[in-house]
Structure 1
Amino acid sequence: MRKTIAFSVSGLLLGAVFFAFSLTPSLIPRPTFVQGILSGVAFTIGYSCGVFFRWLWRYLQIPDIPLTLQQRQWLKRLVAAFGACLILGFLWQSTHWQNSVRVLMGMRAVSGGSPVTIGVVSLVVFLFFRSMGKGFHRVVLVVSARLQKSIPDRVAILAGLLVALALYWSLLSGVLLKLGLYTVSIFYEQLDQITAENLPPPQDPYKTGGSDSLLSWGSVGREGRRFMSLGPTAEDIWEIAGEGVDPIRVYVGLHSAETPQQRALLALEELKRVKAFEREILLIATPVGDGWIDPGAVNSLEFLYRGDVATVAVQYSYLPGPIALFTDAQAIRKSARALFEVIYDHWEGLPVGTRPRLYLYGLSLGAKLSEGSFEFFDVIDNPIDGALWAGPPFSMSAWRLITDNRDPGTPAWLPQFKGGEVVRFGNQYGGYLGREPWGRFRIAFLQHASDPIVFFDFRWAYRRPEWLECPRGPDVSPDLRWFPVVTMLQLLADFYVGDTPRDFGHRYTPAGYTLAWVALTEPPDWSEAELQRLRAKLKTLSKR
C-alpha cells in the first residue's frame, strides 16, 4: 500500500497566508529568484506556526469541534481551496505591487511576473526546511524512545530535544559554517592580492605607493590600489573649479603591517611624509568589510575643496562586511579605534590655527565602526569638526538612540534631534534641516528612506514601523503594508540590493554625498551652476 505524505491543515492555511503576504511590496524591488526564496521561507514559518498551534491545542487538551470523517474531508478541501485562491490572487497582484516600487525609483515597469518560477523555488525551499524538520523530529523520537526505558516520558522527550538541538547546532555551526567561512576567506584573500594591469604604482615618488613611500604598492591590497589610483587629479579639479591641486590619499593595507596599532602608526608616518596635516581638510575614512571606500564620497569632498584634502584609511579585513563582523568583530573595532586615536593625538597637538579640519566618514559597516572609533568624552575638550555617516546600519547605537528620541512631529525617515544643533539627517533629495543653528561639532546622517539596511529591525516582526506613518519617504511605495513577521522577512530579503538603481536603497551616489558635504562643511565660493557641473563630472568619474 502506498504511503501518503501527511500535511497539517492548520499549517497549510497559515503558510498560505504568510506566502501571500510575502508577495506584497517592501522597500526595494525584488528579483524573481529572491522572491521565491522569501515566499518559501514565509510559507515555512507560517506552516510551522500552524503546526505549533495545533500541537498546543492538543497539549492543553482543548476538545476538537466534533466532526464526522466526511466533514473533515470537506474542511480540508475548503482550506486547500481557500489557500490556493489566496495565493493565486496575490500572485496576480504581485506585478502591480513590484511596479509601484519600480516607478518610484525610475525603473522600467515589468509587464508580468513569474508565478511559476516563484512557486517552484518556494516549493523547493519549503521541502528543504521540512526535510530538516522531519530529521530533527526523528532524532528526538529515537533518543527519547531509548531513554524512556529508564526515565519518565517527559524528561526523555526533553533530553531528546536537547540532543537534537546539540546535533544540529554542531553540524551547522561547527562543520558547515566553518567550511563555508574557510572557503570564502581563501577566495577573498586571493582576490585582495590581485593587482590589475591598468593600475601600476604611481610614478611620483612623493605619492603613497611610490618609490619613496613607506607603503609598498603590493601591500595595500586590491581596494587600496583602486582607491589611490582612481580619484580626481589636479587637472580634473581645474576643469570644474578653475584651480586645484592633487588630493592626498593614504591607504594602509591589511598586509602592510602585523597589528592594528602598527598599521595606524604607519598611516600616521605616511601622512607626515606627504604633508597631509598642511591640507585644509583631513578625512579619516573607514572602509566596509573588504576594504572598499565609496569613491563618490571622497571624490565629492576633494572637488569641493579644490583638492586641498588628505584622506587616510586602514584596511581591517578582506571579507565582505557582515562576514568580517561575524568572524572577528573585536579585531575590526580595534583597528578603527587605533587609527582614530593615533591620528587624533597627533592632530590635537598641532596649533589650532594651522591644523586641518578633521572629519570622519563611513558607509554602512564603515559608519558603525567610525562611530565606535572614539568616545565623545575623549574629545569633548578638543572636538573634531564632524562626521558624515552614510547608510547607517540599524544596529548603529547612536543612530538608533537619536532616531528613537527625535523631536516630536518629525518623521522617522528624516528626523530632527534637539533642533539640529549637533545632528542632522538628509537624503538624495536634501534635508539637513534644523530649528537651531548648526554648531561647530557636526554629525550628518545620509540615509535613503528606501534603505532596508538602515530601517530593518527585528521589532518589525510584531510592531508596525514608524517610518510607515504619513508622510512617508518619497521613495517608499504607498502600497507597502505591515504584516506581522512577514514584513521583517521582506526587509531581510531586501538586503540583497540586486538591480536597485543608484540613489535608492543602499546605493549612495556622488550627488547625494555632495549635498551632505556642502551642508556639513560649508565650502566657500560654489554657485549652483558650478555645483551642477560638479555633479556631472562626478557622475563621469564614478564610471571609472
Structure 2
Amino acid sequence: MSVLRALLRRVLTYFSHMPLSGMIGAGVLFALSLAPSLIPRNAVVQGILSGLTAAVGFWLGLALTWLWTFLGLAVPTGRARKAIAWAASALALALVAYSLWRGAEWQDSLREFLGLERLESVFTPIVLLVAVPVALLLREIGRVFSWTATAISHQLDRIFPRRVSLLIGIPLAAYLLMNLASGTIGRLTVQSLDAMFLALDQLIVEDLARPAEDLATGSTQSLVSWENLGRQGRHFVSSGPSREAIEDFTGSPAKRPIRIYVGLGAADTPEARASLALEEMKRVGAFDRAVLVIATPTGTGWIDDAAADALEYLHRGDTAIVTQQYSYLTSYVSLFLEPGYSQASARALFTAVYGYWTQLPADARPHLYLHGLSLGSSGSEQSMNLYMVLGDPIHGAVWSGPTFANPNWSMFTQGRNPESPYWLPRYGDGSLVRFTNQKNALDIPGAQWGPVRIVYLQYASDPITFFSSDLFFRKPSWLVGTRGPDVSPDLDWIPIVTGFQVAFDMAGASGLGPGLGHLFAASHYIDAWIAVTEPAGWTAADVARLKAHLNK
C-alpha cells in the first residue's frame, strides 16, 4: 500500500509541476481530436491521435504564453489571474469530459453514415490508456527541443540581445532536430520498415502453386523466377479470371489474359527490371493483344484485383497487363518516406515498353493505356514525358485513388470548372480528362472524347486523395458547398486538429470495404474502363450483370 501511495504522490507531483497554460491547451486539443473526420477510428488509433494532439496543445499553450510575455503585453495579477485560471481550467475539463462521453457515439454515427457496423469494444478507457503515455512521451521530446533552443540562445547572448538570440535559437534548434529526425532516425526507421515488409514480401503462400503453363510469368520457362516475383507478384499472376471463366460468363470465345510482373528482387535497378519485363512481354506475346496496360503498383507492389479483373472481362481476355515492383512499403508510408521510387520505376518501364511499341506498325499493335492506384497513380502520371509522346500518343489512362501529391491531378483539380465541386471536378470540355466516383459521372452531356482519354476514379472519403498540409490552418475546398456523398455532415473543420485527423485517417482508408475511402469497387472500375477503352459488344444489361458478378 505504501508503494502505491508513493507512486501516486510521484504522479501528482509530476503533473503539478506542469504549466497550467500547457495543460489547458492539451485538454482542449485532446477533446477536439475525438470529433469525427473522414474515416472511423478504433480506440487504439484514436488514443494515439489524441495523445499526439494533446502534446501539440500543451506546447502550443506554452508557446502562446511565452509569446504574450515576449511581446510585453499586460498580464493579469492577483485575484483576476486566479479567476481566469480557474475558469479556463474548468472549461477545459468540461470539454474533455464531454468529448470522452460522446467520443464513441461520434465514431458510431460516422460508421452508421458509411453503412458500417457499430463499435463493439470498450472505447473511452482504451483511448485514455493509450493517449496519456503517448502525450507524456511527446512532451518529453518537446522538452529536449526546449532545452536545445535555450542552450543555443544562451550561447548567442554573447553576440546578440536576449530577444534576438531567442528568435535565432528557436528555429535553429528546430532545424537541428528535424535534420536528426529525417537523417539518422529517419534512415533507421526506413531501414526497419523495409526489412519488415521485405520479410513479408518473401513469404511464399503455400496454396499458390507455380503456374504450369509455359507462357505464364513465373513458370519454369519464364524469364522471371517464381521466387523473384515477390508475394504480391505471385498473387497477381496466379489470380484473375481464366479463359474458361470469361467464356462461361460472356458466352463468347475468349483468350487467356496475360499478366506480367517483375518483382523487386529480379534485378538491381528499375531500368534492368524494365528491360526484363519487356523481354518477358515479347516471350508471351503481349504485343499481339488488343489492349496493353502498363500498370504501376501501390507501395507494397499490389495491383488492385478489381481493376485488372474488370478490364479482362470487358475485353474477353484479349489483354496484357505489365508491371514492376519498386517498394515493399504501404503507399501511405512510401508517400512520405520514398515518393520518388514509384516515379523512377514507372518511368523506366514506360520508356522501355513505349519505345518498343512505337516501332510496331500502328495498325498491328495494341491500344496502349496506363493504370495506377494510390502511389502507383502518382508514378504512372509522371512516367511519360508529354513532349516525347505527342507525335505518337498513348490511348488513355485509368488512375484510381490519386494521392494529394499527384501533380497532374492537382493541376486538373485546381483548374476545374468553377461550378464543379473540388471532390468531383470537371475540367475544360471533358475531352481529355474526366472524374468519377461511386455514381458514374463520366457521361457528360455534349462532351466528346479526344484521342487520349484519362479517367480519375476517386471517393470523397479518401484521405490519401484529400489530405493537404494547409488542412492544419485553412478550411479545405472539399468542405465548402455541397459535400461528397460519403463525407459526414457532422465533420467540421477544426484548425490544427483536422490536419492530424485526416493524416491519421490515411492508415485506415483501405479498411472500410469496397466503394469507400481508399478501396475501390469493381463496378466503378468497370465504368472507368468502358469510358476509356470502349470494349465492343456490351449492352447495359451485360454491364449490370458483370458488375453484380465482380462485386460478389
- TM-score, reference length from structure 2: 0.90
For the residue of structure 1 that corresponds to 2:294, the secondary structure is strand
Asked if 1:13 is matched to 2:24, the reply is: yes
Task: Tell me which of 102, 113, 120 is aligned to 1:93.
Answer: 102
2:71 corresponds to which residue? 60
Q: 1:80 to 1:378 in 2, by over 3 A?
A: same
How far is 1:493 from its partner? 1.3
- Partner residue of 2:532? 520
Partner residue in 2 for 1:302: 312
Q: Does the 8 A contact of 1:94 with 1:113 survive in 2? A: no
Give the conservation status (yes or no) of the 8 Å contact 1:105–1:501: no
Q: Does the CA-based 8 Å contact 2:315-2:535 persist in structure 1? A: yes
Range moving further from structure 2, 285-294 or 322-331: 322-331
Distance in 1 (alpha carbons) for counterparts of 2:403 and 2:152: 43
Residues 296 and 342, structure 2, Cα contact 8 Å, conserved in 1? no
- Asked if 2 retains the 8 angstrom alpha-carbon contact of 1:387 and 1:442, the reply is yes
Structure 1 pair 157/61, CA: closer, same or farther in 2 (3 Å)? closer
| Structure 1: distance between partners of 2:332 and 2:485 | 29
Query: Cα gap change, 1:413/1:170 in structure 2, threshold over 3 Å: closer, same or farther?
Result: closer
The 1:12/1:530 distance shift into structure 2, 3 A limit, reads same
Structure 1 residue 324 displacement after superposition: 4.2
Structure 2 vs 1, CA of residues 9 and 302 (structure 1 numbering), >3 Å: closer, same or farther? same
Q: Which moved more, 1:493-502 or 1:215-224?
A: 493-502
Q: How far does residue 471 in structure 1 lie from its aligned partner after superposition? A: 1.9
Aligned-partner SS, 2:460? coil
Residue 407 of structure 1 and its aligned partner are, at CA, apart by: 0.6
SS at match of 1:340: helix
Distance of 1:140 and 1:525 partners within structure 2: 70
State the match for 1:533 in structure 2.
Answer: 545
Is 1:222 matched with 2:231?
yes
1:150-161 matches, cutoff 5 A: 153=162, 161=170
Distance 2:364 2:310 in 1: 24
Following superposition, the deviation at residue 180 of structure 1 comes to 2.6
Report if aligned partners of 2:342, 2:375 keep a CA contact under 8 Å in 1: no
Distance 1:158 1:468, change over 3 A: closer
Query: 2:313 aligned with 1:313, yes or no?
Result: no
Q: Who is 1:474 aligned against?
A: 485
CA contact (8 A) 1:267 1:312 kept: yes
For residue 187 of structure 2, what is the aligned residue in structure 1?
Answer: 178
Deviation track 1:36-92 (CA, whole Å, cap 9, x = no partner) reads 222222222222222111111111111213x32x44334322222111111222333
Q: Which amino acid aligns with 2:112?
A: V
In structure 2, what is the equivalent of residue 248 of structure 1?
Answer: 258
For 2:476, the equivalent position in structure 1 comes to 465
Q: Counterparts of 1:184 and 1:109 in 2: how far apart (Å)?
A: 32
Given the alignment of the two structures, is residue 51 of structure 1 paired with residue 99 of structure 2, yes or no? no
Please give the alpha-carbon distance, in whole angstroms, between the structure 2 residues aligned to 1:49 and 1:143.
Answer: 21
Separation in structure 2 between the aligned mates of residue 57 and residue 162 of structure 1, nearest angstrom: 18
Q: 93-102 vs 505-514, which deviates more?
A: 93-102
Residue 405 of structure 1 and its aligned partner are, at CA, apart by: 1.1
Query: What is residue 282 of structure 1 aligned with on the other side?
Result: 292
- Name the residue aligned to 2:84: 75
1:110-509 residue pairs with structure 2 within 5 A?
110=119, 114-141=123-150, 153=162, 161=170, 164-165=173-174, 168-169=177-178, 172-243=181-252, 244-324=254-334, 328-434=338-444, 435-497=446-508, 499-509=511-521
Distance 1:137 1:485 in 2: 21
- 3-state SS of the aligned residue for 1:250? strand
Give the RMSD, CA atoms, in angstroms: 2.5
* Residue identity matched to 2:406: M
* Residues in 2 aligned to 1:484 and 1:152: alpha-carbon distance in whole angstroms: 34
Query: SS where residue 237 of structure 2 aligns?
Result: helix
Tell me whether 261-270 or 472-481 shows the greater mean CA deviation. Answer: 261-270
Worse overlay, 489-498 or 472-481: 489-498
Q: Partners of 1:151 and 1:357 in 2: how far apart? A: 68
**Residue 39 of structure 1: which of 50, 63, 88 is its match?**
50
Secondary structure, aligned partner of 1:496: helix
**Quick one: distance in 2 between partners of 1:290 and 1:112?**
30
How many Å separate the matches in 1 of 2:39 and 2:90?
31
In structure 1, distance between residues paired with 2:193 and 2:93: 41
Higher relative contact order, structure no. (Cα contacts within 8 Å, ≥ 6 residues apart): 1
In the alignment, is the contact (CA less than 8 A) between 2:104 and 2:124 conserved in 1? no
The amino acid that maps onto 1:291 is G
Contact kept, 8 Å, 1:220 with 1:251, in 2: the verdict is yes
Q: Is the 8 A contact 1:24 1:97 kept in 2?
A: yes
Distance in structure 1 (CA, Å) of the matches to 2:117 and 2:200: 34
> Deviation per CA, 1:160-213, whole angstroms, max 9, x where unpaired?
657755764465344433333222222222332222222222111122222322
Question: Does the C-alpha gap of structure 1 residues 415 and 328 become closer, same or farther in structure 2, counting only changes over 3 Å?
Answer: closer
Q: Which residue of 1 aligns with 2:114?
A: 105
Q: 1:85 to 1:217 in 2, by over 3 A?
A: same
Secondary structure at the counterpart of residue 363 of structure 2: coil
TM-aligned CA deviation for residue 502 of structure 1: 2.2
Alignment partners' CA distance in 2, 1:173 and 1:267? 34
Q: Does the residue aligned with 1:346 lie in a helix, a strand or coil?
A: helix
Letter in 2 for 1:293: I
Looking at structure 1, the residues matched to 219 and 385 of structure 2 have their Cα atoms a distance apart, in angstroms, of: 35
Q: Which runs of 5+ in 2 are unaligned?
A: 1-8
Q: Which moved more, 1:37-46 or 1:458-467?
A: 37-46
Deviation at 1:93, TM superposition (A): 3.0
- Pick closer, same or farther for the CA change 1:162–1:214 going to 2, 3 Å: same
Task: Give the CA deviation at 1:445.
Answer: 0.2
The residue type equivalent to 1:248 in the other structure is I
**Distance change >3 Å, CA 533–CA 150, structure 1 → 2:** closer
Do the aligned partners of residues 208 and 146 (structure 1) sit closer, same or farther apart at CA in structure 2, a change above 3 Å counting?
closer
The residue type equivalent to 2:213 in the other structure is: D
Change (3 A) 1:99 1:266: same
SS at match of 1:255: helix
Measured in 1, the distance between the counterparts of 2:437 and 2:211 equals 36
User: For 2:251 and 2:517, how far apart are their aligned partners in 1?
Assistant: 35
Question: How many residues in Structure 1 have an aligned counterpart in Structure 2?
Answer: 538
Shift of 1:229: 0.4
CA drift of 1:227 comes to 0.4
- Asked whether the 8 Å contact 2:49–2:504 carries over to 1, the reply is yes
In 2: Cα distance, 1:54 partner to 1:169 partner: 24
Change (3 A) 1:174 1:409: closer
The residue type paired with residue 503 of structure 1 is G
Counterparts of 2:317 and 2:422, CA distance in 1: 36
Q: Which segments of 5 or more consecutive residues in structure 1 lack a partner in the other structure? A: none
Instruction: Tell me if structure 1 keeps the 8 A contact 2:216–2:237.
Output: no
CA distance in 2, matches of 1:506, 1:460: 19
Aligned residues of 1:192 and 1:223 also touching (Cα < 8 A) = yes
Partners of 2:306 and 2:339 in 1: CA distance: 27
| Partners of 1:300 and 1:514 within 8 A in 2 | yes
- Selected match of 2:36 from 22, 25, 29: 25
Alpha carbons of structure 1 residues 150 and 359: separation in structure 2 relative to 1, 3 Å: closer
TM-score by structure 1 length?
A: 0.92
State the secondary structure of the residue aligned to 2:264: coil
Q: Tell me the secondary structure at the aligned position of residue 538 of structure 2.
A: coil
